[in-house]
């Protein structure tokens, strides 16, 4: 029997529900669970008559994604699944009912087969309750499929910008059509690339979920430990950041004078020191090509339990997306404006 990884938990099977109890205890001003549906986390302040309801969601283990982005000006609700597993349709449906205020509901989540099936089933059930639901999948991970198959890509840390833009559009009382258009545009303008240095372990198994050599990194690894596009020797911070940015620039095609927002995200255990060293390089590279940084976020925004590694996301701004990004929001784990 291999040695179990160390975790501060009580019971692996209860980890998600006990975490939710702790989150609700910490953020009673922002969050509540839906009546009878503890895995449906609803914003205290947000849903209101005439506003499109924004429901996000997915597996646990990525905190503060998803429920940390529930609050006024961002998402109205998050449906919470087991660790790395989509929530089933019922809690998603309860979220939709709780935030439906007559203007329709938008489902937004990362593009994974399980999430698509469960959210689609929930959307069908919501339609039977006369709630109009539209869906926008996030597909920001440039490593997960070639450029001409963007619709096959995974949604990863760039969710942060895409949800932010859509949430702002909802908060500004735009129509469901307009919110959906802005959400799709935000997704098209968001590019993420990640690298993993060491594995994470699920609370139920407490075994590393992949093996990697002491001097290796996995380029393009997914946020559930899915293998990436290549295994390489661990490089310097500058070399790793350059490799990520080269791939992002090739797709984003930035022009001198363009504006971006930057997210340098830890996959869990990589410390701020290393993230800021990477961010230094991001700034150098953007300065070199004359691209202006409108805003930066550096820290834990979309994690993979205790995985070591980081991702860089660039959000390619235009006037509309910048307005949405700058729009104030007040969530349990994130504030802006």
Partner 1 sequence: MTINTADLKRMFDTIAVAIEADKNRLCQLDGVIGDADHGIAMALGFNAVRDALASLDLAATEPTALLNTAAKSFLNAVGASSGPLYATAFMRGGAAVKGKATLADADFTALFQAMSQGIKDRGKAEPGEKTMVDAWQPAAEAAAAASVASKTLAQCLEAAHAAAERGAEATRDMIAAKGRSSRLGERSLGHVDPGAASAVTVIGAIRKSLS
Q: Which of residues 216-235 bind partner 1 (CB under 8 A)?
A: 222, 224-227
Contacts of 82 (CB under 8 A, 6+ apart): 16, 59, 60
Options 209, 269, 322, 323; binder of partner 1; rule CB under 8 A? 209
Binding to partner 1, residues 3-42 (CB under 8 A): 13
Q: Does 127 bind partner 1 (CB under 8 A)?
A: no
Q: Which of 117, 250, 272, 289 binds partner 1 (CB under 8 A)?
A: 117
* Beta carbon of residue 201, minimum distance to partner 1 (angstroms, whole number): 8
Binding mask 258-287 for partner 1 (x = CB under 8 A): ------------------------------
- Quick one: which segment of 107-115, 235-243, 258-266, 312-320 binds partner 1 (CB under 8 A)? 107-115
Active-site positions read 62, 224
Total residues binding partner 1 (CB under 8 A): 34
Ramachandran bin of 211, using left for φ above 0, alpha for ψ from -120 to 50, beta for the remaining angles: beta
Pick from 24, 48, 90, 326: which binds partner 1 (CB under 8 A)?
Answer: 90
Task: Determine contact, residues 302/223, Cβ cutoff 8 Å.
Answer: yes
Distances (CA, A) of 19 to 12, 15, 16, 70, 223: 11, 6, 5, 16, 19
How many whole angstroms separate alpha carbon 214 and alpha carbon 216? 6
CB 152 within 8 A of CB 110: no
**Residue 209: CB minimum distance to partner 1, A:** 4
* Rounded Cα–Cα distance for residues 317 and 186 (Å): 9
Q: Can you tell me which of 3, 8, 25, 113 binds partner 1, judged by CB under 8 A? A: 113
194 counts as binding partner 1 under rule CB under 8 A: no
Joined tokens for residue 79:
């449906």
Among 41, 70, 83, 310, binds partner 1 (CB under 8 A): 83
- Asked whether position 159 contacts partner 1 by CB under 8 A, the answer is no
Dist. CA 12–CA 299, nearest whole Å: 26
Provide the CB-side half-sphere exposure for 241 (13 A, CA).
Answer: 21
Decide: is 114 part of the binding site for partner 1 (CB under 8 A). yes
Residue of 87, 155, 167, 194 that binds partner 1 (CB under 8 A): 87
Measured in whole angstroms, how far is the alpha carbon of residue 87 from the centre of its chain? 15
Provide φ and ψ at 30, rounded to 5°.
Answer: -100, -35
Beta bridge partners of 175: none
Binding site for partner 1 (CB under 8 A): 13, 59, 81-90, 112-114, 117-118, 121, 144-145, 152-154, 202, 204-205, 207, 209-210, 222, 224-227
């Amino acid at each position: 029997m291999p040695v179990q990884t160390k975790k501060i938990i009580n019971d692996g099977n209860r980890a998600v529900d006990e975490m939710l109890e702790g989150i609700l205890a910490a953020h009673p001003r922002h969050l509540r669970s839906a009546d009878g549906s503890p895995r449906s986390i609803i914003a205290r302040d947000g849903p209101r008559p005439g506003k499109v309801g924004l429901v996000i969601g997915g597996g646990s283990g990525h905190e503060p994604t998803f429920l940390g982005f529930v609050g006024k000006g961002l998402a109205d609700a998050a449906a919470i699944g087991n660790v790395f597993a989509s929530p089933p349709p019922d809690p998603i449906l309860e979220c939709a009912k709780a935030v439906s205020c007559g203007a329709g509901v938008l489902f937004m989540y990362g593009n994974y087969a399980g999430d698509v099936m469960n959210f689609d089933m929930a959307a069908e059930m919501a339609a039977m309750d006369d709630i109009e639901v539209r869906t926008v999948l996030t597909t920001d991970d440039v490593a997960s499929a070639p450029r001409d198959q963007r619709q096959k890509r995974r949604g990863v840390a760039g969710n942060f910008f895409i949800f932010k833009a859509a949430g702002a559009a909802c908060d500004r009382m735009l129509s469901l059509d307009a919110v959906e258009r802005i959400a799709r545009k935000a997704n098209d303008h968001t590019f993420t690339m990640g690298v993993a240095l060491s594995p994470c372990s699920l609370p139920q198994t407490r075994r590393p979920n992949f093996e990697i050599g002491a001097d290796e990194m996995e380029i393009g690894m997914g946020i559930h430990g899915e293998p990436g596009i290549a295994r390489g020797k661990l490089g310097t911070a500058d070399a790793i950041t350059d490799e990520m940015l080269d791939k992002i620039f090739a797709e984003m095609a930035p022009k001198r004078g363009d504006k971006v927002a930057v997210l340098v995200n830890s996959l869990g255990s990589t410390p701020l020191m290393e993230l800021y060293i990477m961010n230094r390089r991001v700034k150098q590279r953007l300065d070199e090509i004359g691209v202006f940084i409108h805003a930066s976020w550096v820290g834990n925004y979309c994690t993979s339990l205790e995985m070591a590694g980081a991702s860089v996301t660039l959000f390619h701004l235009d006037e509309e997306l910048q307005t949405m990004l700058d729009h104030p929001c007040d969530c349990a784990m994130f504030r802006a404006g």
